[in-house]
A and B are shown apart, each in its own frame.
Chain A
Amino acid sequence: MDEKLPPPSKEEHEQRLEMDRVSRRTFLMNVGIALNALAALAIATPVVAYLLGPLLRRKEYRQWIEIGSVDDFPPGETKLITFTNPFSDPWDGESAKVPAYVRSTSLGEFKVFAINCAHLGCPVRWFAESQLFMCPCHGGVYYADGSRASGPPERGLFTYESKVEGGKLLIKAGQLPTLRNRAGAGPCPSLTAPPNEPKLVARIEQCRPPCRPSDRGTSAPTIG
């Protein structure tokens, strides 16, 4: 047992530790960390895209939706209508339905108001007797033409872009109107979007070919 090496002195021990720090093992460990970081990055990138999905895909929510025949809306009346949002899934249930107010000013002239108060989005109610829209939440009131009458809203009711085609009234709808996302903002995507849309989009009905607002019976742009 005398041949046994003496234990390393304190200095030698330190030295060996120091060598360990830069040894092959340390190097391999660092490589391992780098590999994992790389893998994490590779996984995280698609996850970010996935999370941003609602922004990146299905731009076709702004499309023309038929809401009824022109004859359904006699001049001078404001009617509550319901349409099914083109941007919907089978599991949306009742929430796929969207209400709106159609106001016919004169024959062939229509204004379609979003139900959502321009203040904080609550459903406004129409009172034909006093010709006012009133909001139950914070007391916003609008005149029959949608302009602000009183209360906290800073603007009039949101309006959907509308047009008449073949005796039918069409509106451009599909998104919740807020101060940034105006009800019918933006041109029809099929005019601007690249021709090869991703497959995800294909399941939703595309804009019909004559997408420009027709000359006949379209009320002036009412956004803003």
Chain B
Amino acid sequence: MSPTMSPKRPWYQRAYDWLERRIQIEGPIKDAALHPVPRSTASWWYVFGSASLTLLILQVVTGVLLGLVYQPTAAHAWESLQMLNHELPLGWFLRAMHGWGSNFMVAVVLIHMAQVFLFGAYKFPRELTWIVGVFMLLMTLGMAFTGQVLRWDQDSYWGLGIGASIMGRVPWIGGELVHLLLGGPIINGATLTRFFALHVFIIPGTLLAFTALHVWMVLKLGVNEWPMPGRIVRRETYIAEYNELTHKDGIPFVPGAVWKDLFFSAAILFAVAVCAAMFGPFGPKGVPDPTIINTVPKPDFFFLWIYTVLSYLPPEMETPFILIVPVVAVVVLVALPLVAGIGEKSLWRRPVAVVSVMFLAVCFGVWTHLGTYTPWSPEMSAWSGQSVPVNLLRNRTPLERQGANVFQGKQCRNCHAVGGRGGQRGPALDEVATRLTEDQLYRQVLLGGGNMPAYGSALSPAETTALVQFLKTLHPPHLTPSADASRRVVEQVGVPPNSTVERGGEQSPAR
């Protein structure tokens, strides 16, 4: 630009010129802002990347502000968060913005990734942009996990225990890895400072550097054009085709496309603020005192699905699954653009891609939903907190009622629901008498099996009898309880009801 230093120009323009002569950054910024993009990409589908960046900036700003107060020591972290929540003006709001910002960021990053995948934007020449993005996703998840640790409440403490237990499954070096992860042999202050450094310096520093590289490549390679069925990506011709497209039917990025990005980013920021104001900050929950064992640790929302998967894996499959599947997943994501870097971009011609995304989305949804109510966990207070429904006790013999006492007192209810309440680990027992005969009930109670512990050593014979008598009454009125046919024979003195054989009758002589 030509600096006109005439005194007639207003002072701020002169100040701007003075700075620009020295920094000389106007050119590159103008180039970046005005570079042409295909007209079709000025779409609401293309706003998730910029929204992720906006959320990242929000996280940095709120994180720095929280860092002014937060105490990264095991003895005081929890209290400093309480102080932020309750004593510092608007400290709760900053914590809530950071927490909700984190959830939104993971969500928007995942949506961005799905969109990029479905629009074929990872194909030539944008393979590296995708690969860098995969690592940015991993870092975002790493930020979410380490952030949960910094909350330093019971969930955080036992979440670390879960992380350590997973590490401990690595063959040969698992033990050493656990010590490295925890900064020592056990979860304590050294663990917290370690995760503080990860959350505040190491991961965000790397993430910002990767973000710069990611955005740089987006600017250099251009925004992915709107995929059209039949428009095939070929390495030889793609660049020329893209350039022709942007020059024939292109608009400058600013303001042609950027206004939608700005609108969406603002909407996301408002959404974060509204959630923060309405729902408040996340925790901290109970004091991180390991001796308080009456706790039900649960991971944050975006890790609930892992929690579910870990509870449904059969024991013998667990270690291989935990150690192999994440590696395979990352390798698949990284290799994707290298293997499928050319060809169709349109999702109308890529049914496998569409089905994959739908499958993963359904899995994520179902597993997360299951993780919210954990049907695989015993309900620890069901035995003492939920009474036996009255209708199950009406017109019952004293022995059967005593059985109901045993049923509650021996914590059966923690795993077995009755009347719709109780644990869901085992089957509900409202109709158990229609499924199991008396003998089968005794066997199941005493010996267990099918994922039920054996109660033989915890029940006296009298208790067992009472319990089974109670269980025998659990059937709907219109259904008869199941019974062993041979028992009926025994009761009728050895003659089945429809038998044609008469007792004491003559038998045909043997030939």
- Give the interface of A toward B (CB within 8 A): 51-52, 54-55, 58, 61, 80, 82, 85, 87-99, 115-116, 119-125, 127, 129-132, 134-139, 141, 143-144, 149-154, 174-176, 178-181
Residues of B within 8 A of A120 (CB): 161-162, 165-166, 310
Given contacts A150-B451, A152-B313, 10 further A-B contacts (CB under 8 A): A93-B288, A94-B288, A94-B289, A122-B162, A134-B411, A136-B297, A137-B377, A138-B307, A138-B377, A176-B186
* Residues of chain A within 8 A of B419, CB atoms compared: none
Q: Are A123 and B378 in contact (CB under 8 A)?
A: no
List 24 A-B pairs, Cβ < 8 Å. Answer: A52-B180, A87-B188, A89-B190, A91-B75, A91-B189, A94-B288, A95-B187, A95-B289, A122-B162, A123-B293, A124-B293, A129-B411, A136-B297, A143-B453, A143-B457, A150-B453, A174-B185, A178-B164, A178-B175, A179-B165, A179-B174, A180-B168, A181-B168, A181-B178
Q: Which residues of A contact B453 (CB under 8 A)?
A: 132, 141, 143, 149-150
Contacts known (A93-B75, A180-B174); A125 close to B297, Cβ less than 8 A: no
Instruction: Give complex CA distance A124, B165 in Å.
Output: 14
CB within 8 A of B74: which of A54, A92, A175? A92
Task: Determine whether B315 belongs to the interface, using a CB cutoff of 8 Å to chain A.
Answer: yes
B491: interface (CB < 8 Å): no
Cα distance A85–B295 in the bound complex, in angstroms: 21
Picked from A89, A91, A123, A176, the residue with its CB within 8 Å of the CB of B182 is A176
Contact B185 A178 (CB under 8 A): no
Interchain residue pairs A-B with the least CB separation, the first 10: A178-B168, A93-B75, A121-B161, A175-B185, A149-B453, A180-B174, A138-B311, A180-B175, A123-B293, A94-B289
Q: Smallest CB–CB gap between B318 and chain A, Å?
A: 7
Cβ-defined partner of A92 (8 Å) among B75, B176, B180, B383: B75
Minimum CB–CB distance from A12 to chain B (whole Å) comes to 35
In angstroms, Cα B314 to Cα A178, docked, is: 18
A95-B157, A121-B158, A121-B161 are contacts. A138–B310 as well, Cβ < 8 Å? yes
Question: What chain B residues lie within 8 Å of A96 (beta carbons)?
Answer: 188
Task: State in angstroms the CA–CA spacing of A135 and B158 once bound together.
Answer: 12
By the criterion CB–CB under 8 Å, are A136 and B378 in contact?
yes
Write out the residue numbers on chain A whose beta carbons fall within 8 Å of the beta carbon of B316. Answer: 154
The answer to whether B410 touches A130, judged by C-beta atoms less than 8 angstroms apart, is: yes
Specify the main secondary structure of chain B where it touches its partner: loop
A97 to B415 Cα, complex, angstroms: 31
Contact residues in B for A115 (Cβ distance below 8 Å)? 290, 293
Q: Which residues of A contact B74 (CB under 8 A)?
A: 91-95
CB contact between A91 and one of B73, B162, B415, B454 (< 8 Å): that residue: B73
CA distance A94 to B180 in the complex (A): 21
Chain A residues in 8 Å Cβ range of B451: 150-151
Among the interface residues B311, B313, B409, which one has the most CB atoms of the partner chain A within 10 A?
B311
Instruction: Give complex CA distance A204, B176 in Å.
Output: 21
Q: Does B343 contact A (CB under 8 A)?
A: no
Residue picked from B169, B185, B451, B453, most chain A C-beta under 10 Å:
B185
